[in-house]
Amino acid sequence: MGSPLNFADCKKCGEHTLLLPLHGDKGGPEFCGICAGKWHAEHTRRRKWGRIIIKAMKFYEREGGSWQDFDKMKIAAIAEGWGIDPLGYGPDTIGAEVGDITTELLADTIQLTHPDKHPPERRDLAKRVTQELLALKPFVFPAPKAKPMPRDDKIKVRGITIKEPSQTPAYPCSECADTVPYYYCTPCKAEWDKRRREERERENAKQRNSYARRQQWLRRSRPPSKCARCETEFEAKRKDAKYCSHACRQWGYRRRKSA
C-alpha cells in the first residue's frame, strides 16, 4: 500500500488541502499543488534566463569584453531608470522577448523563408520575414555540443586504467543549485544538515582548544598556591584552590564538619 495522503495547511497559502512533496519522489517541503506549480514555474523561468545570460557572458568575453565590464553592466542594469551607463551602451533596443533559439535553427528557418523559394505572390512577405529573422542573429547562440560517450572502465591508455567517473551525486543537485536550503529535496537537505553539523563540530572543537590554551596560559602566569594543610606549593587549576591533593581536601572537610 502507498503512503497515506497528507491533508494539512499549506505553508505558502495556508489553505487546508492535500500536500505533496515539492520535488516528487525526491522529497522536499510539502506544499499544495497550486503553490508547488507556481514555484516550479518561477524556478524554471529563472533557470532558463540564467542559462541565456551565461551564454551571453561567454560570447561577450569571446568578442573582446573584459570581466571587469560585467560589474559595470550590473550597475547599468540596476540603475537603468537613473540614466547610469558606465560603458555607454545606450538604452535597450533588443525589442521583443527573445526565446532560446539556436543559431542552427535560425539558419534553417532563414533558408526556408528566403524569397527565392516562394512564388511571386508571397515574395514580399518572405522578404520581410527573412529580414526580421536576420535581425535576430546577434541574439541567438549555437546549440550545446553533445557530451562524449563515457569510456569503458577496462580501457587502458599507456598502462593506465581509466576509472569510471565517481558516482557520488552532485550537491546540490541541478534542481536545488539556485535555491535556498528550505526548498532542497530530501537528499540535498540531508547533505546540507550533515555539512552544517560537521561545521558546528569543527567550530566547537576550535573553541574548546582555544579555551584550553587560554586556561593553560592563565595557570602558568598565576603564582603557585600554598596548601592550607601541608603548606606545599602546587599549581592550582582554579584561583580559589586551597589544597594540593584529595587527602588534604578531605582533611579540610572533616575539620569544617567537626567545628
Percent of the chain at pLDDT exceeding 90: 10
The type of residue at 134 is L
Q: What is the pLDDT of the chain when averaged over all its residues? A: 80
Provide the pLDDT for residue 191: 92
- Of the candidates 62, 58, 57, 59, the one whose C-alpha atom is nearest the C-alpha of residue 73 is 57
Distance of CA 70 to the CA centre of its chain: 21
Q: How confident is the model at residue 25 (pLDDT cuts 50, 70, 90)?
A: confident
Provide the pLDDT for residue 97: 43
The runs of H, that is alpha helices, within the chain are 33-62, 68-78, 103-113, 123-134, 186-221, 246-258
Whether 157 shows a pLDDT value over 60: the answer reads no
Q: How confident is the model at residue 170 (pLDDT cuts 50, 70, 90)?
A: confident
pLDDT digits (tens, 9 = 90+) for 82-131: 777 777 776 655 444 445 677 888 888 888 888 888 888 888 898 888 88
| pTM summary value | 0.48
